[in-house]
C-alpha cells in the first residue's frame, strides 16, 4: 500500500505532490501508480506538480512504468552491493531493453557466485520498504558529497552536467545522483532476478577502466518474470548455433580457426537457393554479375584509402616479394572494370553485382556463430551513375531491399549514418552525399533515425535494421554514397556535351552477409523453413519393406520434378522415422504402407502433425510445386509494381 512518507513532504516547496493530486482524482489509480505524467514529464509521486497541466498516473501496465521499476531495481542492487562489498565504487545503472544493470568498480570483478548473496540482500532492502526520496542539490554540494565518499565516477558525471542543481535520490542508506523518477518505495519492486555479470568499459570507452557490470531484470509480478525467463529459453532453443548443428547446416572447428564457417550439404543447398535467387533478381533489375580476385596488390589498397583507414581489419601476404592484401571489400575490382573502357553518359548507371567473399580481421572476442565471422559473402554491388541519377538509384535499392524483406517476412527500420572521425574525402563531397541520401529517404516517405558519426570511412550510409520473429534487430542492407573512390580512381564518363565528367558511386548490399542472413533466418523460422527454403522438402517413409519399391519410385519422381526429397527405408518403426523427420523439421513427410502401395497413392503428413488425404503422386507434386512457387510469384508481382511507380 502506498502512503506518502511524512519526511518526504518536508523536501517539497509547499505544493501539492503528484501522489496527493492523484489521490484526489482517483484514489484507486493513485494507490497503483508508480509515478506520474505531468506536462510531458515523468515525475515521482512525491514531486510537486504543475497545476495548470494535466496529471495522469503511470500504472504498472505502461511501458514507462517498467522503466521506473527497473531503474529503481538498479538503485536497490547498488545499495545491496555497497553493503556487501565495502569500498566498491558505483558508476552508472540504467534501465535497459529487458532489464537493468549497474556498473561497479571493485578490487576484483564480480562473478556469478556473487549474485545469490546480492539478490538476498536486495530482498532485505525490498522488505524494509524504504521510500525513494528526491532532493535537488546544488552541484557544488553534490560534487563535494560524492568526492568525500571517493565516488570519482559520480564526480565525473556531475562535472559533465550543465545544470546548477542536480537530482539526488536516497533510499535507506544509499544516495545516488539520478534524474529519476523512481518507485515510491523499495517495497514496490515485485519480481526481479540478477542474470549475469560482465566487464564493461567506463563510458563505453576502450581506453578507460574496465568496470564490473551486473545485469538483472525486474517485473511487477512473478508471473511476468517467469514469462520473460521462458522467452529467453525459447530464444536459446532457436539459437542458430544450436540449430545449425542439429539441422546439419554448418559447423566451426578449432582446427580451422575462429570465425570461419564450414558449410555442410544441407546448409550449402540453403545458401545456393538464396544465392541463385539473388542472381536472378539482380539480373532482372538491371545489374551485371562480375567477380574479382581474393588478393589484390597492397598498392591498390593504398590508393583506395583502405590501407590507411581499414588496415587493422585486413590480412596481408606477400607474393614474389610484392605485398598483397586479402580483400575486405569488393569495390576495387569493380572500379577497374568500370575503367576498362571509355564510358558514355548513356552507359550509366552501371550496376555491378558480385557475391563476393571477403575476409575481415575481427577482434578475437567478437565472433558469434554466423552473425559475426571473419570470412563472409556479401551480396555486394556498386552502382556507378551520373549525379542526376543518384536519387533514383538509391530509391531503386530501397525498393529492392523492401521486396526481399517482405519475401522473408521481416520488418525493418532505417538509419542514416553520417561522417565518422576517421574518414577520407572533402567536406563538400560528404555534404553532397549526405544530402542525396537524405533526399531519397524523404522521397521514400519512410521514417528514419540519424546515427551521427557512424558512416563508412568513404561515405555516409543508410542502414536497414531488420527485426526478427523474436523482436531482435540485425544489420543487413546498407546503401553507402561515395564521391571519393571515383575521384581516387579517376573514373569518368563522356557527357552529352562531349566533356569528361566524374561519376558518383553507391556501394550497397541487400541481405548484407549471406552468412549472417542465414543465421538470422534460422532463428526467425526456428529452423522450420518454408517449403521453398527447406534443405529437405519431403521425406518418404515406409511402414514395412513391402513399400520400398513404391517409395523409391516416388522419391525419384520428386527429385525429377526438382524437389528435394529423401527416402527412409530403414528397418525402423514408423514412429521412429516420423520423429526423426520431425526433428529435422522437414515440411512434408510421405507415409507409405500396404494400403498406399495397393492403391498407388501416398499419404502426406505435414510438419504440424496433420495428415492430408491420401492422393496420387501427380497431385502431390502439383501441390508442392504451387506452394514452392508462391513466394516467388509475390516477389515478382511486387517488383513489377515497384518499377511502375518509379517510372
Closest approach of RNA to the CB of residue 348, in Å: 25
Per CB under 7 A, contacts with RNA among 481-510 are 509
Alpha carbon 249 to chain centroid distance?
22
Closest approach of RNA to the CB of residue 259, in Å: 6
Judged by beta carbon, residue 133 or residue 596, the one nearer RNA is 596
Closest approach of RNA to the CB of residue 324, in Å: 21
Specify whether 507 is catalytic. Answer: yes
Specify whether 359 is catalytic. Answer: no
Cα-only R_g, the chain: 31
Per CB under 7 A, contacts with RNA among 454-473 are 454, 456, 463
Count of residues near RNA by CB under 7 A: 74
Reference 538, options 614, 605, 600; nearest CA is: 605
CA distance linking residue 52 with residue 56, whole number of Å: 13
CA distance linking residue 183 with residue 42, whole number of Å: 12
CA distance linking residue 115 with residue 193, whole number of Å: 9
Judged by beta carbon, residue 346 or residue 363, the one nearer RNA is 363
Per CB under 7 A, contacts with RNA among 603-642 are 603, 605, 609, 611
Catalytic choice (382, 516, 564, 577)? 382
Interface stretch with RNA, choices 106-114, 262-270, 291-299, 395-403 (CB under 7 A): 106-114
Choosing from 53, 84, 283, 576, the residue that interacts with RNA (CB under 7 A) is 576
Closest approach of RNA to the CB of residue 578, in Å: 4
109 binds RNA (CB under 7 A): yes
Q: What is the dihedral of CA 531, 537, 538, 539, to 10 degrees?
A: -130
Judged by beta carbon, residue 351 or residue 577, the one nearer RNA is 577
Per CB under 7 A, contacts with RNA among 60-99 are none
Closest approach of RNA to the CB of residue 515, in Å: 6
What burial letters (b/e) apply to 196-213, b meaning 16+ CB within 10 Å? ebeebebbeeeeeeebbb
From the number of C-beta atoms within 10 Å of its C-beta (0-12, 13-18, 19+), residue 617 rates as: middle
**How far is residue 483 from each of residues 156, 288, 424, 459, measured CA to CA in Å?**
41, 22, 10, 7
Per CB under 7 A, contacts with RNA among 582-601 are 582-583, 589, 591, 593-596
Binding mask 408-447 for RNA (x = CB under 7 A): ------------x---------------------------
Per CB under 7 A, contacts with RNA among 112-141 are 112
DSSP codes joined into one string, 294-314: SEEEHHHHHHHTHHHHHGGG-
Per CB under 7 A, contacts with RNA among 349-378 are 360, 362-369, 371-374, 376, 378
Dihedrals φ, ψ of 96, to 5°?
-125, 180
Judged by beta carbon, residue 227 or residue 611, the one nearer RNA is 611
Choosing from 10, 13, 52, 111, the residue that interacts with RNA (CB under 7 A) is 111
Judged by beta carbon, residue 19 or residue 259, the one nearer RNA is 259
Beta pairing partners, 103:
213
Beta-carbon contacts of residue 465 (< 8 Å; ≥ 6 apart): 412, 413, 414, 415, 473, 474, 475, 476
Specify whether 378 is catalytic. Answer: yes
* Cell 517476412 belongs to residue: 409
Closest approach of RNA to the CB of residue 325, in Å: 17
Reference 34, options 59, 55, 64, 56; nearest CA is: 59
Beta pairing partners, 507:
382, 480
The cell for 42 is: 515523468
Catalytic choice (143, 359, 374, 507)? 507
Closest approach of RNA to the CB of residue 186, in Å: 26
Per CB under 7 A, contacts with RNA among 247-276 are 252, 254, 257-259
> What is the 8-class DSSP label of residue 48?
B
Specify whether 422 is catalytic. Answer: no
Half-sphere exposure of 641 (CA within 13 A, CB side): 8
DSSP codes joined into one string, 368-383: BTTTB-SEEEEEEEEE
Judged by beta carbon, residue 206 or residue 428, the one nearer RNA is 206
216 binds RNA (CB under 7 A): no
Q: What is the dihedral of CA 394, 397, 399, 402, to 10 degrees?
A: -130
Alpha carbon 184 to chain centroid distance?
35
CA distance linking residue 239 with residue 596, whole number of Å: 39
Choosing from 217, 330, 478, 537, the residue that interacts with RNA (CB under 7 A) is 478
Judged by beta carbon, residue 82 or residue 213, the one nearer RNA is 213
Cα 168–172–175 angle (5° rounding)? 25
Per CB under 7 A, contacts with RNA among 195-214 are 196-201, 204-206, 210, 212-213
Beta pairing partners, 201:
210
Closest approach of RNA to the CB of residue 383, in Å: 17
Judged by beta carbon, residue 185 or residue 371, the one nearer RNA is 371
Judged by beta carbon, residue 108 or residue 346, the one nearer RNA is 108
Closest approach of RNA to the CB of residue 179, in Å: 20
Closest approach of RNA to the CB of residue 586, in Å: 11
Cα 10–16–17 angle (5° rounding)? 75
Specify whether 368 is catalytic. Answer: no
Judged by beta carbon, residue 127 or residue 579, the one nearer RNA is 579
Specify whether 71 is catalytic. Answer: no
Specify whether 382 is catalytic. Answer: yes
Beta pairing partners, 566:
539
Catalytic choice (134, 178, 331, 476)? 331
The cell for 600 is: 498407388
Dihedrals φ, ψ of 181, to 5°?
-80, 170
Per CB under 7 A, contacts with RNA among 505-564 are 509, 512-513, 515-516, 543-546
Catalytic residues: 331, 360, 378, 380, 382, 461, 507
Amino acid at each position: 500500500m502506498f502512503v506518502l512518507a511524512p519526511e518526504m513532504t518536508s523536501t517539497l516547496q509547499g505544493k501539492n505532490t503528484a501522489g496527493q493530486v492523484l489521490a484526489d482524482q482517483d484514489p484507486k489509480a493513485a494507490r497503483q501508480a508508480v509515478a506520474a505524467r505531468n506536462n510531458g514529464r515523468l515525475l515521482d509521486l512525491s514531486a510537486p506538480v504543475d497545476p495548470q497541466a494535466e496529471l495522469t498516473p503511470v500504472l504498472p501496465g505502461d511501458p514507462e512504468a517498467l522503466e521506473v521499476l527497473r531503474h529503481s531495481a538498479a538503485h536497490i542492487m547498488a545499495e545491496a552491493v555497497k553493503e556487501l562489498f565495502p569500498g566498491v565504487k558505483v558508476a552508472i545503472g540504467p534501465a535497459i531493453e529487458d532489464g537493468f544493470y549497474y556498473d561497479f568498480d571493485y578490487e576484483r570483478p564480480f562473478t556469478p557466485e556473487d549474485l545469490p548473496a546480492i539478490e538476498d540482500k536486495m530482498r532485505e532492502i525490498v522488505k524494509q520498504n524504504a521510500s525513494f526520496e528526491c532532493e535537488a542539490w546544488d552541484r557544488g554540494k553534490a560534487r563535494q558529497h560524492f568526492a568525500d565518499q571517493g565516488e570519482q565516477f559520480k564526480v565525473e558525471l556531475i562535472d559533465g552536467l550543465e545544470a546548477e542543481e542536480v537530482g539526488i535520490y536516497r533510499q535507506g542508506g544509499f544516495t545516488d545522483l539520478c534524474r529519476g523518477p523512481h518507485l515510491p518505495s523499495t517495497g514496490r519492486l515485485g519480481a526481479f532476478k540478477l542474470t549475469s555479470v560482465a566487464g564493461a568499459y567506463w563510458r563505453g570507452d576502450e581506453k578507460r577502466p574496465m568496470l564490473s557490470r551486473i545485469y538483472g531484470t525486474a517485473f511487477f509480478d512473478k508471473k511476468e518474470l517467469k514469462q520473460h525467463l521462458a522467452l529467453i529459453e525459447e530464444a536459446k532453443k532457436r539459437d542458430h548455433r544450436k540449430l545449425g548443428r542439429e539441422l546439419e547446416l554448418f559447423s566451426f572447428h578449432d582446427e580451422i580457426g575462429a570465425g570461419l564457417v564450414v558449410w555442410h550439404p544441407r546448409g550449402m543447398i540453403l545458401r545456393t537457393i538464396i544465392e541463385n535467387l539473388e542472381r536472378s533478381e539482380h539480373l532482372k533489375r538491371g545489374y551485371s554479375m562480375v567477380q574479382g580476385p581474393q588478393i589484390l596488390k597492397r598498392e591498390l589498397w593504398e590508393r583506395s584509402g583502405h590501407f590507411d583507414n581499414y588496415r587493422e581489419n585486413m590480412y596481408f601476404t606477400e607474393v614474389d616479394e610484392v605485398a598483397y592484401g586479402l580483400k575486405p571489400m569488393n569495390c576495387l575490382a569493380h572500379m577497374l572494370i568500370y575503367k576498362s573502357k571509355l564510358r558514355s553518359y548513356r552507359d550509366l548507371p552501371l550496376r555491378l553485382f558480385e557475391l563476393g567473399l571477403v575476409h575481415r580481421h575481427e577482434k578475437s572476442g567478437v565472433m558469434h556463430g554466423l552473425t559475426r565471422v571473419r570470412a563472409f559473402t556479401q551480396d555486394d554491388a556498386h552502382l556507378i551513375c551520373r549525379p542526376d541519377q543518384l536519387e533514383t538509384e538509391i530509391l531503386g535499392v530501397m525498393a529492392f531491399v523492401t521486396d526481399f524483406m517482405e519475401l522473408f517476412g521481416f520488418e525493418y527500420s532505417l538509419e542514416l549514418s553520417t561522417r565518422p572521425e576517421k574518414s577520407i574525402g572533402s567536406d563538400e563531397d560528404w555534404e553532397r552525399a549526405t544530402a542525396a541520401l537524405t533526399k531519397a529517404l524523404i522521397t521514400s516517405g519512410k521514417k528514419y533515425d540519424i546515427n551521427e558519426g557512424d558512416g563508412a570511412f568513404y561515405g555516409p550510409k543508410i542502414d536497414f535494421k531488420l527485426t526478427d520473429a523474436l523482436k531482435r534487430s540485425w544489420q543487413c542492407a546498407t546503401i553507402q554514397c561515395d564521391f571519393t573512390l571515383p575521384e581516387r580512381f579517376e573514373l569518368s564518363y563522356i557527357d552529352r556535351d562531349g566533356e569528361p565528367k566524374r561519376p558518383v558511386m553507391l556501394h550497397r548490399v541487400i541481405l548484407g552477409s549471406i552468412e549472417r542472413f542465414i543465421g538470422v533466418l534460422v532463428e526467425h523460422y526456428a529452423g522450420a523453413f518454408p517449403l521453398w527454403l527447406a534443405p529437405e522438402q519431403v521425406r518418404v517413409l515406409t511402414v514395412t519393406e513391402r513399400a520400398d519399391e513404391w517409395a523409391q519410385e516416388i522419391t525419384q519422381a520428386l527429385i525429377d520434378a526438382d524437389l528435394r526429397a529423401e527416402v527412409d527405408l530403414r528397418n525402423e518403426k514408423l514412429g521412429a522415422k516420423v520423429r526423426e523427420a520431425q526433428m529435422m523439421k522437414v515440411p512434408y513427410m510421405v507415409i507409405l504402407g500396404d494400403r498406399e502401395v495397393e492403391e498407388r497413392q501416398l499419404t502426406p503428413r505435414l510438419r504440424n502433425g496433420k495428415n492430408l488425404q491420401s492422393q496420387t503422386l501427380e497431385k502431390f507434386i502439383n501441390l508442392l510445386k504451387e506452394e514452392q512457387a508462391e513466394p516467388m510469384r509475390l516477389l515478382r508481382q511486387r517488383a513489377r509494381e515497384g518499377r511502375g511507380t518509379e517510372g
